[in-house]
Each structure stands twice: as C-alpha cells, then as structure tokens.
Amino acid sequence: MKNKLFKTVPALVLAATLAAGTFAFTACGDPEEKGPETQLPPGAQIEGLTDKPLEGEIFADYTKGSADAMHPTNGYTNGSPFNNFWTTDCVTYDGGVMKLHIKDNPTGSVEQFTEYYGGEERSYQNFGYGDYEVRMKPAKKTGTASTFFLYTGPSDTNPNTGEAHPWDEIDIEFLGKDTTQVQFNYFVNGVGGHEYMYDLGFDASEEFHNYGFRWEEDAITWFVDGEPVFKINGSENVPIPSHESKIIMNYWCGAPAGEAWMGKFENPDELAPEYEWIKVNSQPAWGEIPEKVEVEEFEGDWTTIDAISTTFDRSDNGVGTDYAITAAEDGKSATVTWTKAGNYDNVNFDVTEAAADKNWLHLVLENTGDEAITGRINIRNTEANATINQYGFGNGSELSTAIGEGTTVNLTAGQKMEIEIYYTDVADTVEIMLDSLQANAIDLAGSLKISDIKLAKQGDIVIPDRGDNQPVVINGESIKFANNAYVITTDTEANSIDVTYSGIGKESWQNISADVANIASTKNIFNATVTNNGEKAVKFRVDILAKNALPGAVTNPDADTPRHMACNLSATQDGQEAYTNLQWGGSEFTVAPGKTTKITVTYDTRYSPTQLQFLIDSIAGTASESNSGDITISEMSFTGEGAVDPDIGGSTTPDTPVVVPEGDPVPLTFEDQNITPAYTLDKTTATETLNMQYSGLAGNAYAFVTATDAAQYLNGKDTFTITVKNNGTVAVNVRIDIVGSIKDGNSNVINQSAVATGGTGIFTDTDWGGTKLEIAAGEEVTIVITYDESTARGAATAVLVSCDSHRGDTNTYSGNVTISGFKFTSSTAAAE
C-alpha cells in the first residue's frame, strides 16, 4: 500500500440549505454595544465575586493537531445575520493551534447569506452543567466574530427522551472591531438580550489568554485568566439554560442586518482566531465520538487503464438550471457550460457496464471558465436510491466526503484536478453537481471539462446488506419500498417490514418510499403501526407526497411548483393529535425504545397523492450527527372515503362564520427585542393600533415584536383577538404566539386553536407553537386564538407577532402591516 491515512467517518451534509430557526443564530449578540457601566441584565453581579477557579481536564488539545472529540461543520448556512457558508476548508490545524478562517465564496450571495465561507468546529457530544474553558486569541477584523460557546436547539433531539431541545446557549464572543472587550451572553428557550461587554484591559488579539464559564443550575459565572469577572444569578424570574449542549467555536462575518452591531465586513484576509485547547469538567450526557477508519489510496497505475465511453445527460428540477453539454464523438469526454445553477441539479453519465465489478472511480475535471466552481460528485446505485462514495482524493489530497451525500470539489479558474473515489456497492450512475449546491437557482456562469473516466478494482467488492426487501400487501396491492440508505427485511407472513439503519444523518432527509397512487387517490387516511426495536427514541416523519402542494406550502420563487409536495392535513399518534407541518410538509412522530405506537395521517386527495414516504431519524438534528436504529412498520392500510376537509389546518371557510368576541380593545406595548431590530414601529408606548414596517427581512430570521404587558390581560382568560391589516402590495405570512412561563417539550407557546374572518391556510402548531396564516395584499383579517394556561407550559406571559420571518426559507421579505383590536376574553364570551 502506498499510504494509509486516518480520518473520522464524516456524517451527512444537508441536501438543501437549512431553514434557520432549526439552527438558530448561535453566538450572536445585541447590536447595541453595552459597556460594563450601562444597564446590567437581570440577576447580574460584577462585584464581590469569590467563585473558585475553573476546573477541568483537556478535552481538545490543538497543540497536537485536530481533536477526535471535535469536528468541523460543513455544508450549510445559519442565515442572517451570518453571511457565510460553513466549510471544512476554513478549519485548519497548524503550528500548534486550530485556526478558523473566512474566505470568498465564489458561488455564494448576500441574498442567500452565503457570500463567504466560514469556519466552525463543534463537539460530537452534548454536555450538561460544569466548567468550560478555552485558550484562544481572537481575530482583530471589523465585521467578524470569534467565539467559544455552548449551544443546543431544535437540531438536538435527546436520544433518551426523544424530545427536541429548545434554543439554549452560553456565549463568549469577541467582535473583531474592538478586541479589548469580550461579550458575555446567554439564551434560554430562544430568549437572549442578556449581553454584557467586559473591558479586558488588554488587546485579546495580541496574545493567548484563558476564557471560560461555570454553568450551574442556578448561575453562570464567566472567567478571564482564571478570575471571575461576571455572574448571572438565576431565580424564578431569571431562568438559566438547562439543556445539554454542544461545545462550539466559530468565526463568521455579518450580513447587512448585523453591520450596526459588528461593523461592515470587507475583503477576507489571513487573519484568523487561534485556539490552543479546551478544558471541560463535565461528562458527556449523550452523543458518540465516531471511530476512526482506515483510508487507503489507490495503488494501481491509472495510465494503464483505458477511459470508458459513456452517455452524458442532465437533471432538471424545475428551477432554471441551464447546463449545456457538448460531448465528444467517442463519448469519452464532455464540456458543460452554464449561466444559472441550483436546486442540486447535476450532469450525469452511465457507468453500469464498466462498474459492474469495480470499486474505484477515476476522472479528470478541468475548470475551463473564468470563475471558481463548487461541485459535488455522487456515485449512485439508483435501484437502492443511494449515494455510495466512501472517500476520495483530488490531486493526491483527501477531499471532503459525506457518507450518503457525495464528494465535494472546489476548482479555481483554470484548475485541473485528477480525482479518485473509493465506493462500496455496485455503481450505475455518476452525478456531478456544478455550482448547484443550493435550493434556488442563482446566476453563476461556468465551464467544465469532464474526461478520463476510468474504473478499477482494489481489494474486495463490498456490497452492503439491504435485506430481502420484498413487497408487502397494502389494500390488496403489492407495494415495495425503495430502501435508500436503510436495510429493509420483509416478513411476508406478518405483512410487515423491519427497517434497520446506521450512520443516518440527523438532517439528511433520508427516507424509504413507495408508489401508492392507485390506492391513495381513492382514500384519505393512512394507518400504520410502528414498533421501536432499538435502545433509543426514534423520530420519524410520514409524507403523503402529491403532484401538487397545499396552499401555504413553502415555495421556490424560481420554480413553477412549491418545494414541498406533501398533502398531509393532520395526524394522530395513539389517538392524540400529532404535529403536521402544512408549510414544509409531513406529519412527525416519536416512539420511545421498546414501544409500539399506532399512527394515522389524514391527507387531501384533491392534490393527487402519489407516494408514501417515511423519513426515519433523518429530520431533526445536526448534519454532523448520525443515528442508528431498528423499527418495524406493520398494519399499513388506507381508509376513508376519499373525502377532503376544506378547512386545511383549521382554516375558516365562508360557510363557517367566525364569532368575534365582544368587548373593548385594550392598549399594548410592543417592542422589537431582536438581536438586530427587524421592524420599524410607529409607536413604542401602549397603543390600540400599531404599524409595523420591514424590508430585507430573512424568511428564517424568526423575528418577533413582543408585548409583555399583555400578561395582565391574558391571565385568567383563554381567548385573544387581534386584527391584522396588510397595507402592502404582496401577501404577508403572519404568526402570533401566546407564550407561557415554562418551557415544555419543543416550546412554551400555549396557543391551542384559532379561527379567522379571512386569510388562507390558518394553522395552529401546538408542538413548536404559534398560529400562522397568509393575508393577501390589502386584506384585513380578525383572528381569534384560544390558549390554555392549565398546561405544563404555565401561565401566559406575553403576546408575540411575527411577519414573514418564520417561513423557514432564505428569501427576504418586505411589508407593511397594522395590528389592532387587542381583546382578551374567555371562551364563553367568544361563543355568545
């Protein structure tokens, strides 16, 4: 063997730009620069601190190179106020330190919040209360942040409980515009605003210093060079983060929305924060450090192997990607040109015959254009619907490969790269995604030559166990599931399938699916029994996919159809209502270890249902994490008479009049408490009518205006009424939350149901929270929300209103709405 390398098996990267909100705006501060002499957050203490020094053992020692317990983040963006796409190329280990970098992203854009690449490193495991310390030197660069923090959020699903975490966070953050200060902050269930700027008395960018914090159940104490300098004392009115979190360090630059806080970023350079070590005295609560595996280079001589002839083709997902392919007459090479790319479109070619008994692919890619190209190579087994790359090399250096998602390549203008990729299973197709690793098509011109396609064998051919995967009978028809990255074993006698899996990325959207068009089109309810045979909770989603999408589904502005095509209306689990997302699609369920559950999904036949899809342990988490499990799906059937419920998600039709409670409106004081103010409010005092204007607001900003003085009216009642007038020229998506005092499950929102005098797609999410609906331009809608103070989420504390920023996409929105008619009544008043 020429050479042996070692690496950690990479987990799946996202197959689409992630909705922020899922990934939260980690390590962000307040745009107002708060000095130590300004207003302190509640519970703060800066004098008389006698806390003992931090304790801990070395957890990550970068003086010796990379750390097994940590890994670079790769393949997605957090959205505004970040303006960078995380990539492993921006994390380096050199000279006894880890460095995080910011680089130009030639295929990014400020509209997508990906104008630059950024570096982030995070732990595989989640940790609880304890001491955390880092030795670091931040970068002195305006418009950037160098950080060390703990974070958890809905991307973390606790395997012991099956519950997704809220957004909890504890921060140490340096703004590059002034590294003589350090900012401390924390979030509890997504609520921040606790920033404190501490004057260091030295420039942190010049030398290494120690920074850390002690996280206790009732307090957080921050330290600098071993001395306690700032403390938050928790109380009933000052909650402290309480959920196990990941250790994260990142270096990022701000989008325009963050410039007022951190300054404007310009011109990436060699400046980078440097980290020597991390110390921790807390044991991991859950999560696993992947074992290292042996990676071997190809030992043969490619020059002695003939290039194959093949047929080149292209995919088209309807977003306007314009790949033009000019293939050589002998089929041994092709040149691809484009001026627009996106939605993970690809150029592909067939290797079925040549790859029948091979396990290495060789090809040469040459960037013949004037701009850099970012791409991904996927070696595919199409029958299994699986990408089978294991690792690869480009010009002798290892390339980033995500199991199940392919090998990433970056080519500068004029660069030529010889690529070798090892794969398992049997290959039949090779896909090359060119500047298309984003959900929407954007203007990116490029030219690439593909040549020297060769295949070879080295060692044994590894064929993964895919089970027997025989059809099951559903409603009298023989139905077979495509098994993707899962192993399906069929019990024909029990008419069930057993699905086992390992290494499934938590945000990979991997699935098993089957064609059920003939059955589903005449029914409207899907039923199944699911048993969790594993040792950890399993979270899965069921989609009834359709040719058309429900009103209100998230749409792709460059496509003719919405991005998500599930026609689910509602769901139950063991007779109790389960969460169905009408905006993004699908019904979600969680099954505890050793438990069996019965589920139903009600769907709308008007949208032409075609497929039944299970996304198993692949819908919630972080791309760098993976799941293993074993479930049995049985008693699958379709019932119902094919009837449809016109009240999608509880929306109101003209045939169902809304009774608006009587009573006089009361004044409320709404405040914009976002990191960077998202809305312009015409009043900042108590008012019965408030105008809200906004522009350039990201669809994944999750920005609200909040009325905390509503508590005096909310308590003891159960109905809130509000009128919303859309003064703009385009439709506005509005979300209204009544929040309780206690975080329970996924949220502290206590909305139970809602009706409206107009609007479309009204939906109340009792899992994550909030009542949402679309309001047309010029339309005025009165919304009546019922809430419940008797649940585990506690008494009502505030009313929150969001416009367009909870859509979960990376588009930007502008609007002008007026909210008024704030009434608080009991349900008996609403019924009169």
Q: Could you give the residue numbers annotated as active site?
A: 169, 173
Count of beta carbons in the 10 Å neighbourhood of residue 278? 26
Q: Are 347 and 335 in contact (CB under 8 A)?
A: no
Residue 241 CA to residue 247 CA, distance in Å, equals 14
Residue 149 CA to residue 186 CA, distance in Å, equals 9
Query: Beta partners for 734?
Result: 773, 803
Look at residues 301, 261, 317, 231 and name the one whose alpha carbon lies nearest to residue 46: 231
Structure tokens at 561: 């159809």
Count of beta carbons in the 10 Å neighbourhood of residue 485? 26
Give me the residue label for tokens 């396990």. Answer: 359
- What are the two backbone dihedrals, phi and then psi, of residue 831, each rounded to the nearest 5 degrees? -85, -15
The 3-state DSSP class for residue 257 equals: helix
The one-letter amino acid code at 476 reads G
Q: Which residues contact 703 (CB under 8 A, 6 or more apart)?
A: 672, 674, 678, 679, 697, 802, 805
Q: 663 in the Ramachandran plot: left (φ > 0), alpha (ψ -120 to 50) or beta?
A: left
Q: Are 813 and 804 in contact (CB under 8 A)?
A: yes
Structure tokens at 453: 């396609």
Residue 593 CA to residue 705 CA, distance in Å, equals 40
The 3-state DSSP class for residue 650 equals: helix
Q: What element of type H or E holds 51? A: none
Residue 205 CA to residue 273 CA, distance in Å, equals 8
Give me the residue label for tokens 């969680």. Answer: 590
Q: Pairing relation of β-strands 227-233 and 102-104?
A: unpaired
Q: String of b and e for 167-199 (b: at least 16 CB within 10 Å)?
A: bbbbbbbbbbbbbebbbbbbbbbbbbebbbbbe
Rg (CA), the chain: 27
Residue 252 CA to residue 145 CA, distance in Å, equals 6
